[in-house]
Amino acid sequence: MSQRTLSISEAVATTRPKTLPPSSSLPWRRAAWWVLPLAAPLALLLCWAVTVRLDVVSSQVLVPPGKVLATFVHLARSGELARNLEKSLIRLLVGFSVGASSGLALGIAMGASRVVEQMASPLFQVVRQVPSVALIPALILILGVDETFKIVIVAKATLFPIALAAFQGVRSVPKLYLEVAAVHRLPAHALVRRLLVPATVPHVVAGVRTSLGRAWMVLVASELVAADSGVGQMMEMGRQMFRIDVVMVGVFMTGLVGLLFDGAVRLVERRVARWKQP
């Protein structure tokens, strides 16, 4: 028996790793985790600087990164960048709120009622296939170039992804839950508030990530066409004055704001979907 036990112990000992990874490598791994996302932007900046340095592209067309940075600092100190960014964010907030609330209500209604789905689905699918940017000329003729135009175009870009996500969330509710609610004669408002809305939350949060990015891009595009303020208007004024550095600052801010929005929604999505993780 002792020999049997000894042989098993020796076998287990031989399967164990002889050396453990040193704990000193963990800080390097953590540092690499933060440095790796910066590799691509730094490589792009390097290619940009080398291209301008070698005069592959004229500096009047592609300004050096240093000049763009100086212009960014100037616009930030003068307050012009903050004013335009504030205008754009207010428009985005109002339009996104209108589109998200309307899309949520429409998606839940289509998911909960076959009659509503059959009535709304044809028009819903037709309008959804039309790019939001393609509606800009028509909306300008109908609404003018005031704030209403920008809010409507943002709401349109927001409504359909949210509605589809809510529809999918409602249809993913197990049939057993609906049968239990019917047995207990749960009122319609309580069914929506206690069952359907919570069931759509993970799907809607995922839809928000898509719709928020689209809404931001459509808003900047509409400001490029018709606006008296905003990030897009700042870029358009820079184009008209042939200030490529101002245009590049607007491009940088557009991408940075989109990145921050996406990161914030991803954090919310992880918290909402935490119950799905093992």
* Tens-place pLDDT, residues 76-135: 999 999 999 999 999 999 999 999 999 989 998 888 888 988 898 889 989 888 888 888
At residue 278 the predicted structure's pLDDT band, cuts being 50, 70 and 90, is: very low
Instruction: Provide the 10 A C-beta neighbour count for residue 135.
Output: 19
Structure tokens at 250: 């607007």
Which of residues 172 and 107 earns the better pLDDT score? 107
At residue 5 the predicted structure's pLDDT band, cuts being 50, 70 and 90, is: very low
Q: CB–CB of 251/203 below 8 Å?
A: no
Of the ranges 69-78, 108-117, 180-189, 231-240, which one carries the lowest mean pLDDT score? 180-189
Architecture of domain 65-276 in CATH? Orthogonal Bundle (1.10)
What's the rounded Cα separation, in Å, for the pair 139 and 152? 8
What's the rounded Cα separation, in Å, for the pair 216 and 222? 10
pLDDT of residue 53: 82
Of 208, 216, 228, whose CA–CA distance to 162 is shortest? 208
What residue type is 92 in one-letter code? L
Largest CA distance in the chain: 93
Most confident range (mean pLDDT) of 13-17, 57-61, 68-72 is 68-72
Structure tokens at 249: 């600052």
Structure tokens at 123: 């028009």
Q: CB–CB of 175/192 below 8 Å?
A: no
Structure tokens at 192: 């929506």
Contacts of 154 (CB under 8 A, 6+ apart): 91, 92, 94, 95, 96, 99, 215, 218, 219, 222
pLDDT of residue 70: 92
Q: CB–CB of 96/155 below 8 Å?
A: yes
